[in-house]
């Protein structure tokens, strides 16, 4: 009996993990990377580990090379990822919004208040 994934709880994988970790096939995953190419049906992402991940997209996915995106999708048995959602990562004050999202998910369970404004106050004090 397979265990159902909690909504919003997706393992964040890099290209090597996508290719070698069999435990996530058929699961919703997250991958962050820089767009290398987009032919209208497959986007190639350069992940943080330096490897590439193939992302199956529909023609309306119109990101350009160099854009940094976070993809949430289904990891197929052929090791491609079928997009369910994506987020364009913007750089704010030299910090990627994807990095801020990761930090928020780390902070959220640790903070008794779970306040976004408290998170940004804490974050801004720690980088100054």
Q: Going from the N-terminus, what domains does the chain have, and what CATH number goes with each?
A: 1-89 (2.40.50.140), 90-128 (no CATH)
Q: What is the mean pLDDT of the chain?
A: 74
Q: Is 127's pLDDT higher than 50?
A: no
Q: Which residue has the higher pLDDT, 88 or 58?
A: 58
- Among 57, 61, 94, 88, which residue's Cα sits nearest to residue 73? 57
Residue 75 CB neighbour total at 10 angstroms: 25
Residue of 25, 32, 40, 33 whose CA lies nearest to 74: 25
**What backbone torsions phi and psi does residue 60 show, to the nearest 5 degrees?**
-75, -10
The gap between the terminal CA atoms of the chain, to the nearest Å, is 49
The pLDDT value given to residue 110: 52
- pTM of the predicted structure, to 2 decimals: 0.63
Angle between helices 116-127 and 97-110 (to 10 degrees): 110
């Amino acid at each position: 009996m397979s265990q159902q994934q909690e909504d919003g709880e997706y393992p964040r994988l890099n290209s090597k993990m996508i290719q070698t970790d069999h435990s996530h096939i058929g699961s919703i995953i997250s991958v962050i990377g820089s767009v290398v190419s987009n032919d209208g049906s497959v986007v190639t992402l350069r992940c943080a580990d330096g490897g590439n991940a193939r992302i199956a997209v529909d023609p309306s996915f119109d990101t350009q090379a160099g854009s940094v995106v976070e993809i949430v999708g289904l990891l197929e048995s052929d090791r491609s990822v079928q997009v369910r959602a994506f987020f364009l990562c913007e750089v704010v004050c030299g910090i990627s919004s994807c990095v801020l999202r990761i930090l928020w998910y780390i902070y959220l369970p640790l903070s008794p208040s779970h306040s976004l404004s408290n998170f940004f106050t804490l974050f801004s004090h720690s980088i100054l």
